Structure 1
């Protein structure tokens, strides 16, 4: 099933402009260890790929997740909504598309799509909400650390 609204028009490194939207793209391949006994990608693998894409998206705009953790901040998943459209077969290559939606305070909302490399198949669509947590106190932060806010500003400027 193809989504004509999400056809890329211009690629800038891994960021793809789609009309007014900017998606970060992360390529993946379904190796045997990513699959279940049926030879299709195991449901948890998609979630791992989504996290990898999010970390790489941040890295592409100058926020290294390891630096954030070293500062005592983690971005924890508090909500995850996933729709599996079609199973991705072993050996297939695909694209994980991600973008940050408008957040609310310390909540960061991310959209995802996992597509076939030729974009003719949608394997998954998802939304994830993260919150910034002070790892020392074990509590949600009242405001995002400056390096996260600056990275978000860079993402917003790309919209």
Structure 2
């Protein structure tokens, strides 16, 4: 992935509601964290989900591939790294790594693909509105620190 954008970083602390009875992060929690990182990334690039809605665009998840490699536990700090892959049509492919902040151990990696869909017709868009395309195409700020509050 040498041609990929730099990582955007978003941190969260593992709280009790993120875990199972044994204090291990529940697998679905990671999916929520990936979305939070994606929203923070877009905000860093001056895009909110309201901007997408106002432009008449929805972003449903159409594909997800995750590899769980190492568990995080209650009290750990997770570092979620997110970046966009090179564009493939109007699909937005996000790459992720979730690390244990203290050890830098890789806990999860994966990709999430979003389709761009017209809010009214529910049809796939063939072209993004110019201002959204420009914001996504601009060089990232790299290690923008997301303020994870969860």
Which TM class, normalised by the smaller chain length?
0.7 to 0.9
Displacement, 1:118? 2.9
Which structure has more relative contact order (CA 8 Å, sep 6+)? It is: 2
Q: In the alignment, is the contact (CA less than 8 A) between 1:80 and 1:129 conserved in 2? A: yes
SS in 1 for 2:116: strand
Is 1:105 aligned with 2:89? yes
Q: Which stretches of structure 1, 4 residues or longer, exceed 3 Å deviation after superposition?
A: 155-158
Displacement, 1:121? 1.3
TM-score calculated relative to the size of structure 2: 0.86
Unaligned regions of 5+ residues in structure 1, if any?
A: 1-17
Aligned partners of 2:33 and 2:55: how far apart in 1?
Answer: 25
Aligned partners of 1:55 and 1:86: how far apart in 2?
Answer: 24
Is 1:120 aligned with 2:104? yes
Q: Name the structure 2 match of 1:63.
A: 47
Aligned partners of 1:22 and 1:64: how far apart in 2?
Answer: 20
Displacement, 1:39? 1.2
Displacement, 1:82? 0.2
TM-score calculated relative to the size of structure 1: 0.81
From 69, 79, 91, give the equivalent of 2:75: 91
From 114, 117, 120, give the equivalent of 1:136: 120
Q: Name the structure 2 match of 1:81.
A: 65
Unaligned regions of 5+ residues in structure 2, if any?
A: 143-150
Q: In the alignment, is the contact (CA less than 8 A) between 2:5 and 2:140 conserved in 1? A: no
Aligned partners of 1:157 and 1:121: how far apart in 2?
Answer: 24
SS in 2 for 1:46: helix
Displacement, 1:21? 4.8
Q: Which has the higher strand share?
A: 1
Aligned length: 142
Alpha carbons of structure 1 residues 138 and 97: separation in structure 2 relative to 1, 3 Å: same
Q: Name the structure 2 match of 1:33.
A: 17
Aligned partners of 2:140 and 2:9: how far apart in 1?
Answer: 17
